[in-house]
Amino acid sequence: MNTVMKTYWNMRYNDGCIWGYEPCPSAVMSNDWFHKHRVVNVLVPGCGYGRNSLWLAKQGFYVTAFDVSDTAIELAVEQSRNQSLDIEYHVADVFDDTFLVNRYFDGIYLSNVIHLFLNEQRRSLLDRLTSLLRPNGILTFSCISVFDTNNYGIGSEVESNTFEKHEGKPLHFFSEEELRHVLSNNYEVLKCQLHTQTETDPSGESEELKLWFVVARKL
Ligand SMILES: C[S@@+](CC[C@H](N)C(=O)[O-])C[C@H]1O[C@@H](n2cnc3c(N)ncnc32)[C@H](O)[C@@H]1O
């Protein structure tokens, strides 16, 4: 278990459901793609406190979701109970390949997680997700783009297009070319589009993120 990440995210989620309860725009867009491709079961890695996994379950998918933060999962489980939603939640590390052994999903939805890692870890994260997706399965994700001028370039550049505002917390900014390259071996890219996500934190401060929304079909 990645204890640095776990400690950091537990501390963030001690303030509760910090970005509110509405699903991300990328979850809403994923819903259409999942229905179009007859997805039945969806995996949501790094689900946080559940704003997207709860919403996807309400759209009729069988949802399995996990996060490295136990504080986040407690919040998610509480909401799913209050709303009588049957969602399989786990506290787990996405890099732990002893978790979800022999489980395969029609769809995977990953919101704002892949950009939190350095190059080698991003590759192994993608490999791990690919191994959990059935052939023809649909991977959708959002990630920060090089066009996010509010955040791009802040801190020290530890790798190409990767900046650390706080030491040990990289943020990688994707170009479309890079996204298509990293997906090219195992996926057909069905959509790669920019969108804006507005995040409002508990103090009421808003931030506009320029994100990619990507839809890819496993070959
Ligand atoms: C920016 S937050 C996004 C949360 C959620 N996807 C959302 O959009 O509300 C990133 C999430 O990734 C989780 N995370 C980070 N590293 C992880 C890992 N190695 N395994 C599982 N989850 C991880 C964090 O705990 C955090 O909840």
Model confidence over 128-142: pLDDT tens digits? 999 999 999 999 999
Mutational pocket test of ligand 1: of 8, 9, 118, the residue with most ligand atoms within 8 Å of the beta carbon: 9
- How far is the C-alpha of 145 from the C-alpha of 138, rounded, in Å? 21
First to last CA, the chain: 30
Kindly state if the Cβ of 94 falls inside 6 Å of ligand 1: yes
Centroid of ligand 1 to alpha carbon of 149 (angstroms): 23
Q: Is the CB of 2 under 6 A from ligand 1?
A: yes
Is a pLDDT exceeding 70 seen at residue 1? no
* Selection from 147, 140, 133 nearest residue 191 by Cα: 140
The Å distance, Cα 6 to ligand 1 centre, comes to 9
Structure token pair of residue 108: 């995977």
**CA nearest neighbour of 58 among 95, 112, 22, 17:** 22
Tell me: the pLDDT tens digits for 58-115? 999 999 999 999 999 999 999 999 999 999 999 999 999 999 999 999 999 999 999 9
Angstrom distance (rounded) from CA 13 to CA 54:
17
Closest CA relative to residue 108, chosen from 3, 209, 187: 187
Q: Which residues pair with 91 in a beta bridge?
A: 67
Amino acid (1-letter code) at residue 174: F
Structure tokens belonging to residue 121: 């870890």
Whole domain around residue 209: which residue ranges? 3-218
Which pair of tokens denotes residue 173? 């900014």
| Ligand 1 pocket test target in 9, 113, 125 with most atoms within 8 Å of CB | 113
Cα–ligand 1 centroid distance for 159 (angstroms): 21
Please give the average per-residue pLDDT across 186-213, as a whole number: 95
CA of 157 to the centre of ligand 1 (A): 22
CATH number of the domain that residue 179 is part of:
3.40.50.150
- CB of residue 197 inside a 6 A radius of ligand 1: no
State phi, psi for 70 to the nearest 5 degrees.
-70, -30
Provide the whole-model pTM.
0.98
Answer yes or no: is the C-beta of 72 below 6 A from any ligand 1 atom: yes
Backbone φ and ψ for 14, nearest 5 degrees, come out as -60, -20
Other C-beta atoms lying within 10 Å of the C-beta of residue 169: 13
Count how many domains the chain has.
Answer: 1
Q: Give the range among 14-23, 33-42, 187-196, 197-206 with minimum mean pLDDT.
A: 197-206
pLDDT of residue 21: 96
Q: Is 69 in the pocket of ligand 1 (CB under 6 A)?
A: yes
